[in-house]
Structure 1
């Protein structure tokens, strides 16, 4: 019996190691796919920053520190910086002017016209 239990433990350990390797490989593959999706998201006209940031975090948690992760982080930072600069501007790049009159305001009363001056004669 002692011989059988001595042989079972190494076999179980080998199987556990193989399963862990498979899980790590699967995790790494999913994390690389998440980084690719984050880069695609950031290349869109109106990217979802939260989604891209979450995908970058997935890759970091999986232990991937490749050029793609650094690229995605840089793209996210640049997008946020650009977004902060353009907030509140019109499509032409000019700030909006406040409206001339508010609907609650009463129209201003007209001033009476000044009486015309009489011409003076110089002799």
Structure 2
């Protein structure tokens, strides 16, 4: 019996190593996909920052340490900085002109008396 147990352990260890390798490969593939989606999201006109940050965190958790992770983090940081800087601007970027008070001379004039049209002769 001890001989069989000694033979089974290496086989089980080899199978577990293969399964873990497969899981790691799947995890890295999913992390690559998440990272590509995060970068694509950040390139949109109105990106969802939380979604992009979550996808970057997935890639980091999977152990990806590539230039793409750094690029995505840098893009997210720059987008947040730009968003904070432009939050109060109007759509056109121009300042509104302040409302001016009406001129004092316009309201002080007397109304002009209207002339009556000449009477028509009867007849």
TM-score interval, smaller chain: 0.7 to 0.9
Helix, strand or coil: the match of 1:30? helix
Aligned partners of 1:31 and 1:62 also within 8 Å? yes
Listed as ranges, the matches of 1:51-62 within 5 Å are 51-62=51-62
Deviating beyond 6 angstroms after TM superposition, the runs of 4 or more aligned structure 1 residues are 97-100
The match for 2:23 is 23
| Greater C-alpha radius of gyration | 2
> 1:53: Cα distance to partner?
0.4
Backbone CA RMSD of aligned residues: 2.0
Query: What is the deviation of 1:94?
Result: 2.9
Relative to structure 1, the CA distance from residue 11 to residue 83 in structure 2 (aligned partners, 3 Å threshold; closer, same or farther) is same
- Deviations along 1:28-72, whole A, 9 cap, x unmatched? 110011000000000000000000000000111111010100110
Distance 1:75 1:34 in 2: 15
How many Å separate the matches in 2 of 1:99 and 1:54? Answer: 47
The equivalent residue for 1:48 is 48
The 5 A counterparts of 1:68-87 are 68-87=68-87
The equivalent of 2:63 in structure 1 is 63
Where do 5+ consecutive residues of structure 1 fail to align?
A: 101-111, 115-123
Match of 1:91 in 2: 91
Question: CA separation of 1:113/1:24 partners in 2, compared to 1, >3 Å: closer, same or farther?
Answer: same
Gaps of 5+ in 2: 101-106, 110-123
